[in-house]
Structures are given as C-alpha cells and as structure tokens.
Structure 1
Amino acid sequence: MCHAATQGARELSGEYRFTIETDPAELERLIDAVAEIGEKENWSPDLVFRVHLALEELGLNIINYGYDEGVHEIEFTVNSQPEEVTIEIWDDGRPFDPLQDAPEPDVSSALEDRAVGGQGVHLVRTMMDQLRYQRESGRNHLTLVSRRVG
C-alpha cells in the first residue's frame, strides 16, 4: 500500500518521506503526491516535469529489474529548499549503479532504431544537476539534485 496516498507524506521543514511497495500503481500515486508537493512548494512546471520523469524512470527500473520476486519496499525522500530540490531513493534490490552499470545509449540513432536499455537513465542524468549512487548496508541509495532557479 502506498503510504504516500493513504497517509500523506511525513513533512519536516520542506522534507517529505514516502514508502511504497514494488508496484507500478503505487509508483504512480507517489508521482502524483510529489506533483502536489511541487505545487505547494511553487516549483516551476519544468522542475515538476523533470522530477516526474526521474521518479518514473528510476522507480520503474527498480520495480522491473531490481528483484527476482516478492514484494519489497522502496523509500523516497523529497527535500524542497529555496535553491534546490533533492530526492533520495533507497531500495534493497540487487546492486545497480546507474552511473556505472547502465548501458550508454546510442543517441545518434533515431529513437525507434535504438537498443532497449539505458535511455531512461540517460534522460535522468541529463535532466538533473547531480546524480549520485552509493551501496549502503545492502541497499541502493540514489541521490538526485535539481536547482530550482537558473
């Protein structure tokens, strides 16, 4: 059950925490909840779009490729500050560093001619100002940062 949709996010000074199960429907509810945060925090439409895309691409990668079976939880933190928005994602799936392990997409070919894999991570890397990965205590920890201005 998406805690974001049923209980609301725990908010602490611009920081919102969510836990979802590995279910695409829960991810969609999380994305909707984060869009509401963007409205509340006066994010630009461009920032809302970039955050939506990043959550969708990275969340679906975790759900579709991070586990062999069973239901698992993914934790998200959204920290909205005047200068930047930071998103952190924690999951206990198989280790995957999108900065090192994602295939480098062939961006010179037409989209329909490109191989599957790496396109979403490439988009996230180009749309966010920072993307960091760590493996901590058996969990993947992704940090995304996007400036709010300029």
Structure 2
Amino acid sequence: MSREITLNIGGSPAELERINAAVEELAETEGWPAELIFQTTLVLEELEMNIMNYAYSGDESAHSQITLRSDPKLLTIEISDSGKPFNPLEDAKEPDLDASLQDRKIGGLGVYLARSLMDEINYRRENDRNYLTLLKRRD
C-alpha cells in the first residue's frame, strides 16, 4: 500500500500541531512503527521551525509545503519554501555537541537531527524555491 499527503503550512508555530496530526494519521494508515513516527515528527518540527524562523524571518503570512509519500519500503518527505536560499547540506553549521549545556547556543540541531535520523537528504534550489528531500527506508 502507498499513500501521499501534501500540507500547505503557514508561518506560525501553531502549524506544528497540524503537521504532527497529519504524520500520525498517515502513520496509522500505513502501519508505521513508533520509532518512525517519532523520528519523522521530530525532523519535521525542527526543519519547519528553521523555515519559519530563518527562511521567512518570522513572517507568519509565509507558507511552505510538505509532501509525505509512504510505501512499504520507503518514506519520502519533500519540504519546499520560497524563503531565502539555504542549502542545509552546505550552509548549516555543525553543532558543538561536546560543549556543556550552559555553553551551547539555543537551536542549531535541526539539520543535525535530520542528517542523523534520515537515510538520505538532498537539496535543490529551483524557481526561487528551496526543496529539501528526505528519505527514510522502512525495511
């Protein structure tokens, strides 16, 4: 079985609840294990907050789009936005994981978590939009 959903996401952090609900609905339909639900939700929350805070600089009227495609062997996530050009594979700073909690800067873990939890990440800039594609094998 295979299913696809597409969400148009506004620039407000309140949209994260809608993302989580959509992930849970798709996960239930597709029979995802709890670990995949957790990883997908965490990665989407982190990346969408980055888009809201940095690509759109907090402009709550801005929108991004998330497409989730789930089949028995692969989960594909595509996130697109028309914000500032940003290639997280080249432009994101590596977080200092060895620093103490008091010395760490707030944030900076979204791209790191996506790289750690997903099997493959690809970026492209096309027609003034950022496209980030994440793949997670389900087998």
Deviation of residue 74 (structure 1)? 0.8
Correspondent of 1:38 among 18, 27, 36? 27
What is the CA–CA distance in structure 2 between the aligned matches of 1:136 and 1:111, rounded to whole Å?
38
Question: Does the CA contact (< 8 Å) of 2:72 and 2:138 recur in 1?
Answer: yes
Q: 2:91, 2:35 → 1: CA distance? A: 28
TM-score (norm 1): 0.85
**Following TM superposition, by how much is the alpha carbon of 1:17 offset from its aligned partner in structure 2, in angstroms?**
1.1
Between the aligned residues of both structures, percent identity stands at 48
SS in 2 for 1:99: helix
After TM superposition, give the deviation of residue 135 of structure 1 in Å: 0.5
Q: How does 1:24-103 map to 2 (within 5 A)?
A: 24-68=13-57, 69=59, 71-103=61-93
Query: Could you list the runs of 5+ residues in structure 2 that have no partner in the other structure?
Result: none
Cα distance in 1 for partners of 2:35, 2:60 equals 35
What are the superposed Cα offsets for residues 24-74 of structure 1, whole Å, 9 maximum, x if unpaired?
112321222111111111011000001001100000000111124461111
Corresponding letter in the other structure for 1:88 = E
Is the CA contact 2:12–2:60 (under 8 Å) kept in the aligned structure 1?
A: no
The higher relative CO (CA closer than 8 Å, separation ≥ 6) is in 2
**Structure-2 residue corresponding to 1:3:** none
The residue matched to 1:17 in structure 2 has which SS?
strand
Choose which of 93, 101, 111 in structure 2 pairs with 1:121. 111
Question: For 2:91, what is the secondary structure of its paired residue?
Answer: coil
Deviates more, 1:21-30 or 1:65-74: 65-74
2:21 counterpart letter in structure 1: D
| TM-align CA RMSD | 1.4
Q: Equivalents in 1 of 2:90, 2:16: separation in Å?
A: 25
In structure 2, distance between residues paired with 1:17 and 1:117: 27
In the TM superposition, what whole-angstrom CA distance separates every residue of 1:66-93 from its partner, at most 9, and x where no partner exists?
1244611111100001111000011000
User: What is the SS of the residue equivalent to 1:108?
Assistant: coil
Shift in alpha-carbon separation, 1:72–1:85, aligned structure 2, 3 A: same
Letter in 2 for 1:50: Q
SS in structure 2 opposite 1:24? coil
SS of structure 2 residue aligned to 1:110:
coil
